[in-house]
Amino acid sequence: MLDWNDIIKLANHGAPAPEKRVEKTEEEWKELLTDEQFRVTRQSGTERPNSSDMCRIFEPGKYACICCGTLLFDADEKFESGTGWPSFTQPASENAIAYHKDKSMGMIRVEAVCNTCEAHLGHVFPDGPAPSGLRYCVNAASLKKV
C-alpha cells in the first residue's frame, strides 16, 4: 500500500517503469478524444467539479485511462470525498501512475499522470481516509469504466 512518503519519493525519483508505453502525436490524440477529454488529459486541464455522474457512482468495477486503456483504479478504492471529482485511495498497481511536482496555481502539489501515455489525471493529496491517507482527486474525463 502506497502512503504519502511513497508518493513524495516517486515524485522526486520517478515511478517504476510501465508495462508498455503509448505515444501519439497531438493530432492523433485529437482524433481519438472529445474536446474535453483532450483538454483535460493532454493539456493538463481540470473539469468543473460535479460535472460527471462518475463522482456519485460506487458500483464494482475498474477504471482505465481514457487515452490508452491502462488500468488505473479499482472501484474498491473509490470513496466520497465531497470534492466534486472521483476520488481513490490507491492506484490499481504501483506502476500505473507517475507523479510530478506541480508548482502551478501558486502552490506545490503532486500531479498524477498515466504512466503509460502521460495523460493528466489529476492530483494526489495526503488528506484521504485511513489506512493510506491518500486522496487521488481524478478528472472523470480522464477515466473510462471497464
Q: Which three cell numbers stand for residue 120?
A: 493528466
Q: Taking the model in full, what pTM does it have?
A: 0.94
Total of domains in the chain: 1
CA–CA–CA angle 45, 96, 83 (5° rounding): 45
DSSP string covering the chain, please?
A: ---HHHHHHHHHH-PPPPS------HHHHHHHS-HHHHHHHHS---PPTT-SGGGT---S-EEEETTT--EEEEGGGEE--SSSS-EESS-SSTTTEEEEEE-GGGS-EEEEEETTT--EEEEEES-S-TTT--EEEE-GGGEEE-
The rounded distance, in Å, linking the Cα atoms of 145 and 81 is: 19
For residues 122 and 41, what is the distance between their CA atoms, to the nearest angstrom? 9
Domain of residue 36 covers: 4-145
Active site residues: 137
Tell me: the pLDDT tens digits for 23-82?
999 999 999 999 999 999 999 999 999 999 998 889 999 999 999 999 999 999 999 999
pLDDT at residue 89 above 80?
Answer: yes
Per residue in 113-146, pLDDT tens?
999 999 999 999 999 999 999 999 999 999 999 9
Residues facing 88 on adjacent strands: 78, 136
**Grid cell digits, residue 124:** 494526489
CATH number of the domain that residue 44 is part of: 2.170.150.20
DSSP-derived pairing of the beta strands 120-125 and 109-114: antiparallel
